Amino acid sequence: LWMQGDGALFDWFHIADIQDEAEFRREVDAGAGRFRAVAIDVRRLIDWAASRPEIDTNRIGIIGFSMSALV
């Protein structure tokens, strides 16, 4: 399951190259918004799965790596 497409939630290399504070803040805010959207989507996915009669709610699990683990 890929959340938010193929792009990164935070483009760390782009953020590292930003020289302007206002642009830096915009990029960090945009990344935080993407991260928040993914967290909400994952919660909705779990709620949907838990509502399905064919799914055992005691066996729902999620594995994430790096930032995905935080979501």
- Express each pLDDT in 13-37 by its tens digit: 889 999 999 999 999 998 888 888 8
Report how many helices (DSSP H) and strands (DSSP E) the chain contains, helices first.
3, 0
- Distances from the Cα of 62 to the Cα of 4, 46, 51, angstroms: 17, 9, 17
Q: Which helix (H) or strand (E) holds 35?
A: helix 21-51
Q: Which helix (H) or strand (E) holds 22?
A: helix 21-51
Q: What is the pLDDT of residue 2?
A: 53
Q: What is the pLDDT of residue 70?
A: 66
Q: What is the pLDDT of residue 67?
A: 66
Residue 71 structure tokens: 């979501």
Q: What is the pLDDT of residue 37?
A: 86
pTM of the complete model: 0.70
Q: What is the percent of the chain where pLDDT is above 70?
A: 83
Tallying the residues shown for the chain, one arrives at: 71
